[in-house]
């Protein structure tokens, strides 16, 4: 009997010890955002209507059919006249870019955002424990992380990671990587730099499916400061609630729908196929199956389950029922990949124009800045004073692979109103008229009479 009691006591102690350790382990696994900064180029880099036309007309390989395609694409893209292009493209050197063009582009984006981030947060570069840089199309040696470490003379034992080939969803992947590292390393500061190299990857051929990237992608990027130090949580802007990554690269169609290739003439570019929409829907659906149970209240999931059972058991009746995402989410920060992407995500999630406004305005003002795009959307929400303590922000990102990486943040304090890159124009937004002036200025290209004329 005494032996049995000892066994029971030992079991009880082990049971209590397990849950105590589990509690403290979870307690030290938080991921807080201390600050973030977005990049805005100089005004002489803006690609307005006339600047875009000059770039297009320099490509002597294009015929009338390609010009018409570009006009239609630019008009329907959702981009305005104030987006920014790479210096070499603005200067007319897109067909023969130099290695220095790419380095100069990266240095400007990385160092300007990091300088501002260190200044605003008061955190020194020497305090950074983890550094992650995600740039899909430019992977030099030494790496971009080493370039940052050298510039700021960071510690020799910093844990650095350079991510390439991850596309527009790379920033969320980098955030999740930091979160996983925080589970092992306590009391850390981490930096994530998200951007894309456009300077050396401007497509100069005539394949329509590869010209799309020139119409959508623009210069931009961001730097984010994260920590798992609990004593700093009162200074933090956001807290990461959960993150889910989905990669359907096993599907050949999905793998090839968004890929860097050479055209038949040997010009390198980014191919976007008609399978992109299908791949995005598949990856997004798979991601939501894992993410929604983590963020929606039990009663909403139960109601959906009951309605689904009812729909299966009722023949010949249409009992459509959708999950109410707003029961667990207050704001939607969608990847500003293009107007069609925003429209599709908005429809599938049942979002209003108010919900989509930050994403539409970020696309209109800055274009598709690839991995850095989500932070322009978040900055718009903050500049418009939409965020309140306790609010949940649902971030959705899609990218090559094909991947869908989503996460949910919780706002940690009231009074978030830093205008950042929106400072000089936030009062002008939202824009009611998002029609691109290409329609009015260059609609003559669609005149059928030009079929008999050679464009010089």
Half-sphere exposure of 364 (CA within 13 A, CB side): 20
The C-alpha atoms of residue 95 and residue 201 are separated, in whole angstroms, by: 9
Do the Cβ atoms of 169 and 398 come closer than 8 Å?
yes
Q: Which residues contact 299 (CB under 8 A, 6 or more apart)?
A: none
Residue 308 has pLDDT above 70, yes or no: no
Other Cβ atoms closer than 10 A to 294: 12
Rounded CA-CA distance 303/372 in Å is: 37
Cα 250 to the chain's mean position, in Å?
23
DSSP annotation string for 169-213: GHHHHHHHHHHHHHTTS-S-EEEEEEE---TT----S--HHHHHH
Over residues 205-233, the mean pLDDT reads: 94
Q: Report pTM.
A: 0.89
Q: What is the mean pLDDT of residues 221-237?
A: 97
Closest CA to 358 of 323, 329, 384: 384
Q: Is the pLDDT assigned to residue 313 strictly greater than 50?
A: no
Give 379's contacts (C-beta < 8 A, 6+ positions apart). Answer: 36, 38, 362, 418, 419, 420, 421, 422
Three-state DSSP class for residue 369? coil
Give mean pLDDT, residues 117-126. Answer: 98
φ, ψ dihedrals at 35, nearest 5°: 180, 170
What's the distance, Cα to Cα, between the start and end of the chain in Å?
101
Task: Sketch out the chain's domains with CATH numbers.
Answer: 30-236 (3.40.47.10), 239-309+322-412 (3.40.47.10)
Bridge partners of 404? 246, 398
Residue 321 binned pLDDT confidence (cut-offs 50, 70, 90): very low
What is the per-residue pLDDT for 316?
Answer: 41
What gap in Å lies between CA 230 and CA 186, rounded to an integer?
10
pLDDT attached to residue 452: 43
Q: Outline where DSSP puts E strands in 218-257.
A: 221-227, 238-247
**Cα–Cα nearest to 399, from 63, 168, 193:** 168
Q: Residue 19: what pLDDT?
A: 47
d(CA 171, CA 409): 14
In sequence order, the 6+-apart residues with CB closer than 8 A to the CB of 380 are 358, 361, 362, 422, 426, 429
What are the b/e assignments for 329-354, b being 16+ CB within 10 Å?
bbbbbbbbbbbebbebbbeebebeee
233 has a pLDDT exceeding 90: yes
330 has a pLDDT exceeding 80? yes
Across the strands, what pairs with 194?
134, 222
Lookup: tokens for 349: 């999630």
What does the block give as tokens for 10? 């030992």
Task: Compute the Cα dihedral for 281, 286, 287, 292 and give only its sign.
Answer: positive
Instruction: List 269's β-bridge partners, or say none.
Output: 261
CA distance 428 to 415: 21
The per-residue pLDDT for range 261-288, each reduced to its tens digit, is 999 999 999 898 888 889 999 999 999 9
Share of the chain above pLDDT 70, in %: 86
Per-residue pLDDT at 381: 98
At residue 93, what are phi and psi to the nearest 5 degrees? -115, 30
The overall average pLDDT reported for the chain is 88
264 phi, psi to nearest 5 deg: -60, -25
Contacts of 432 (CB under 8 A, 6+ apart): none
The DSSP bridge pattern shows strands 392-399 and 331-334 to be parallel
Q: What is the mean pLDDT of residues 99-109?
A: 97
For the four alpha carbons of 440, 442, 448 and 450, in that order, the dihedral sign comes to: positive
């Amino acid at each position: 009997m005494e032996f049995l009691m000892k066994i029971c006591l030992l079991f009880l102690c082990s049971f209590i010890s397990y849950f105590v350790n589990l509690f403290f382990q979870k307690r030290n696994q938080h991921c807080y955002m201390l600050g973030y900064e977005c990049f805005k180029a100089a005004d002489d880099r803006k690609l307005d209507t006339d600047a875009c036309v000059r770039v297009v007309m320099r490509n002597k390989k294009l015929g009338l059919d390609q010009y018409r395609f570009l006009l239609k694409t630019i008009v329907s893209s959702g981009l305005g006249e104030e987006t920014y292009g790479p210096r070499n493209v603005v200067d007319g050197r897109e067909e023969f870019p130099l290695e220095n063009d790419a380095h100069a582009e990266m240095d400007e984006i990385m160092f300007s955002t990091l300088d501002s981030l260190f200044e605003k947060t008061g955190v020194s570069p020497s305090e950074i424990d983890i550094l992650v840089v995600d740039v899909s199309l430019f992977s030099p040696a030494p790496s971009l992380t080493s370039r940052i470490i050298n510039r700021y003379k960071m510690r020799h034992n910093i844990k650095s990671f350079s991510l390439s080939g991850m596309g527009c969803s790379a920033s969320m992947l980098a955030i999740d990587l930091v979160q996983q590292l925080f589970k092992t390393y306590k009391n850390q500061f981490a930096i994530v730099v998200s951007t894309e190299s456009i300077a050396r990857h401007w497509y100069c051929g005539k394949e329509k499916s590869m010209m799309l990237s020139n119409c959508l992608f623009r210069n931009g990027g961001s730097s984010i400061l994260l920590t798992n130090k609990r004593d700093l949580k009162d200074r933090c802007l956001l807290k990461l609630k959960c993150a889910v990554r989905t990669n359907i690269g096993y599907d050949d169609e999905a793998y090839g729908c968004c890929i860097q290739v050479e055209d038949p003439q040997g010009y390198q570019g980014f191919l976007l196929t008609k399978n992109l929409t299908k791949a995005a829907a598949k990856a997004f659906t798979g991601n939501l199956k894992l993410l929604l149970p983590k963020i929606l209240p039990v009663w909403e999931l139960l109601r959906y389950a009951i309605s689904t059972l009812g729909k299966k058991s009722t023949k010949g009746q249409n009992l459509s029922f959708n999950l109410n995402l707003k029961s667990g989410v207050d704001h939607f920060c969608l990847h500003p990949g293009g107007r069609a992407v925003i429209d599709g995500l908005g429809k599938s999630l049942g979002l209003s124009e108010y919900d989509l406004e930050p994403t539409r305005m970020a696309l209109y003002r800055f274009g598709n800045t690839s991995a850095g795009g989500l932070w322009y959307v978040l900055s718009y929400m903050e500049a418009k004073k939409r965020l309140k303590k306790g609010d949940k922000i649902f971030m959705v990102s899609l990218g090559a692979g094909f991947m869908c990486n989503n996460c949910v943040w919780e706002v940690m304090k009231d009074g978030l109103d830093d205008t950042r890159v929106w400072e000089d124009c936030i009062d002008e937004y939202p824009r009611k008229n998002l029609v691109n002036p290409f329609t009015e200025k260059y609609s003559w290209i669609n005149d059928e009479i030009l079929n008999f004329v050679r464009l010089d």
